[in-house]
Homo-oligomer: A and B are copies of this chain.
Amino acid sequence: MNNIYDNRQFFDQYSKMSRSQQGLSGAGEWHQFKALFPELSGKSVLDLGCGYGWHCKYAVECGAKQVLGIDLSEKMIHEAKAKNADSKITYRVCGLEEYDYPANSYDCVVSNLVLHYIADIDTIFRKIYLTLKADGVFLLNIEHPVFTAGVNQDWIYDSNGRSQHWPVDDYFYPGERVAHFLGLDVTKQHHTLTQILMGLIKAGFRLDVVEEAMPSADMMDIPGMSDEMRRPMMLLIKSVKQA
């Protein structure tokens, strides 16, 4: 995972996004992601790429007894400790690739919008499988392959600046993609749908939900939101470690 979230300019811009200002209710996919959470009362939760810690705090509010949130970005962990502290939550600066994933330790692992920064998702999926208890749940939100295979991850515009369509290319060549996001060039990793789903299945997971994020009806008044109906941006997955 790269460390662009520790870039001051980028982080300042990120802090102005509605998901940073308003938390979960400001995230367009939350109405769908929330519905995938299992019963968390008395459970242990690991949040991979916890960012501001919104999901960690939500897990505690749902009754989780213990939550660990890790993030590679020091600035993110700083914000998480300031905004979403709780005696049941531990925050730690640590990348997904560096974490030690203790065996059979968690009831639920959450990873929201971070795995498209990871080149080798197969290895992470296998580690998550091992760190979950039997019947443990892995909740995943990753940028959609249609989005990451988008040319420059932007629309094609006509001469009047209107968006024409979403351009896909080089779909079966996974790997680095550079997108302009929040004023900087951000390097992401494109994974095909096959890689994401077969990575999970081959790690031992059962796929219970595979769902593309779609704006809710009450969000359609927000400027630009209707374009979110034109191409999928995020892929939400609920997978279960089979006993």
A residues neighboring B (CB under 8 Å): 146, 149, 151, 156, 164-173, 192-194, 197-198, 201, 206-212, 214, 228-232, 235
Contacts and interface: CB of A to CB of B under 8 A. Distances in A.
Given A168-B168, A171-B229, A201 B208 contact: yes
Nearest to A172: B229
Identical copies of this chain, number: 2
Contacts of A229: 170-173
A232 B171 contact: yes
Contacts of A208: 201
Given A164-B167, A167-B167, A232-B192, A172 B207 contact: no
Contacts of A212: 172, 192-194
Given A167-B165, A230-B170, A232-B171, A201 B209 contact: yes
Please classify the interface of chain A as helix (H, G, I), strand (E, B), loop, or mixed, using the class held by over half of its residues.
mixed
Given A165-B151, A166-B167, A193-B193, A172 B232 contact: yes
Contacts of A197: 207, 210
Contacts of A165: 151, 156, 167-169
A10 B231 CA distance: 31
A171 B230 contact: yes
A214 B197 CA distance: 16
- Please provide the 4 A-B residue pairs with the shortest distance between their CB atoms, ordered closest to farther: A165-B167, A172-B229, A197-B210, A165-B169
B232 A210 contact: no
Contact of A198 (B170, B173, B211, B230): B211
Given A169-B230, A171-B231, A198-B211, 10 more contacts: A165-B167, A168-B230, A169-B231, A171-B232, A172-B228, A172-B230, A173-B229, A193-B210, A201-B207, A207-B207
Given A146-B146, A165-B151, A194 B171 contact: no
A168 B231 contact: yes
